[in-house]
Amino acid sequence: MLVNSKFIHLLFISGLYVFSHGSSEFHLINKLKSYEESKRYCREMYTDLATIHNFSEMNDLINLVSGSTSRAWIGLELADKRTWHWSLPGHTVAYTNWREGNPQDNDQDACVAVDENGKWFESDCKSKMSFVCHSDGGSHVFVADTKTWRDAQNHCRSLSTDLVSILSAEENAVVSNMSQNIWIGLFKDPWKWSDGSDSSFRYWSAFQPNYLEGQDCVTVIFKNSGKWNDLKCPGKRAFICQGAYKVPTTTLETTTQGATKVTYLSTHYSVTSESITVTFHFTLDKNSTNVSTTTVPTTVGVSAAPNTTKPVTLAPHSNTPDNLVLVQQNLTWVEAITYCRSNYIDLVHISTENVQMKVAEKAKNATTPHVWIGLKYTCHSKLWFWIRSSSGCYQNWAPQQGYEGNYNCGATGAIQATGRQQWVGLPQTEKLNFICYGCVG
């Protein structure tokens, strides 16, 4: 096979890292460029600078890039005017129920609360109020603790959801009856995505954005858990592109193998969790174009999900939960998370066969036919993920479950207490025993 191994090596060390997420592809370009230079590069070589649509994608990006660079541009930039968004991605602002004098005609960031009459009003996002977390099944969760809007959002996200979106008069009545003056997920900001996407997802660091003069562009700060900062656009940084790689038509490299002159015209690669396949288009001397394909193991800096016929299960951090506790109380999935986080660390996650065996042994003593574990289904991405997530591939779904199953929004994961003790998806409102993990000793 006439393939230049040096060329493959250059591909891996050239500053390109690839992650495939569903139909999207993220590419970390480890070259230092200004925001505008980065955007131009991404549009020439891929589609555009990266747009982040949800928390699952943000976690994937953190796990891909962390350790490779401290910060990188994404495609969020300052717009000409402020726009209203729901914090929960995928929801549009169609229904509203403003109180007289609202929304206010000003050019300031704002967050929205609901009064006891169901009327909406703008408020300083730093004010402290109770709040409601969204549930796909309609059983929204009221939290009486008073927090700022951003802290309330973080609390809901820790439960793998977000602040509530109100999409109808009926839903507004339900939320307003929970209390008076409570935060909902509506906010106003002046940011837009380079590719024109209407994604409402934001992941700001504390006290960001601070809107200092010239700080009109956004970076991910990987040393700060992937949170975002607004920074001055001329700064030179690494950046993240999205979309398919545009195969170049110009000569990439000319080399000699033995007595034969080989001119590489273009290359195309596809990535899986196991390997990277590189297809070379080349000529031998001045003969017609040849095509050669080689597959090599995935190497440092290359990470991907399997193709859409078998999507990746997002597994948690690599630490093994050695101290497992079966709690023989019948709670909903959200109540179980709250209990585990208050008394231990979290609901158990299963990242290896060894952990599966330990969890299965605990589950045998349950008083319910299934036992909650830390799996959740998102109908927006049609993806199962662990609530403490990083990339991983271990799965133990029962037949017709997992990616073979059909679920309503708000489904969550459980393990069978008996039999083969595989995983199933159930409505999060069911009340089951659950397994927490804590610190050893």
Taken in order of first residue, the domains within the chain and their CATH numbers are 81-190 (no CATH), 314-438 (3.10.100.10)
pLDDT for the residue 292: 47
pLDDT for the residue 380: 57
Q: Are 385 and 378 in contact (CB under 8 A)?
A: yes
Q: What residue type is 84 in one-letter code?
A: W
Higher pLDDT pick, 433 / 291: 433
Nearest CA among 274, 294, 245 for reference residue 16: 245
Nearest CA among 192, 172, 194, 191 for reference residue 182: 172
pLDDT for the residue 344: 84
| pTM score, whole prediction | 0.57
Beta-bridge mates of residue 88: none
pLDDT for the residue 4: 39
pLDDT for the residue 148: 95
Give a three-class secondary structure readout of 123-165: ECCCCCEEEEECCCCCCCEEEEEEECHHHHHHHHHHCCCCECC
Tens of pLDDT, residue by residue over 164-185, are 999 999 999 999 889 889 999 9
Q: What is the average pLDDT across 262-291?
A: 48
The least confident of 31-35, 185-189, 364-368, 403-407 is: 403-407
Higher pLDDT pick, 129 / 393: 129
Higher pLDDT pick, 14 / 311: 14
Residues 6+ apart with CB under 8 A from 236: 32, 33, 34
pLDDT for the residue 306: 28
Beta-bridge mates of residue 268: 279
The least confident of 116-125, 134-143, 310-319, 360-369 is: 310-319
Beta-bridge mates of residue 27: 18, 241
The DSSP-derived string for 169-189 is HHHHHHHHTT-SSEEEEEEEE
Tokens of 324: 């497992």
Residue 370 has pLDDT above 90, yes or no: yes
pLDDT band at 275 (very low <50, low <70, confident <90, very high): very low
Residue 272 has pLDDT above 50, yes or no: no
Tens of pLDDT, residue by residue over 322-351, are 589 999 999 999 889 888 888 888 899 887
DSSP summary character for residue 206: T
Nearest CA among 410, 408, 409, 326 for reference residue 373: 326
The least confident of 38-47, 167-176, 308-317 is: 308-317
Beta-bridge mates of residue 371: 415, 433
Q: What is the average pLDDT across 410-434?
A: 87
pLDDT for the residue 241: 92
CA pair distance 85, 143, nearest whole angstrom: 22
Residue 256 buriedness (CB in 10 A; 0-12 / 13-18 / 19+): exposed
pLDDT for the residue 98: 94
pLDDT for the residue 259: 46
pLDDT for the residue 188: 93
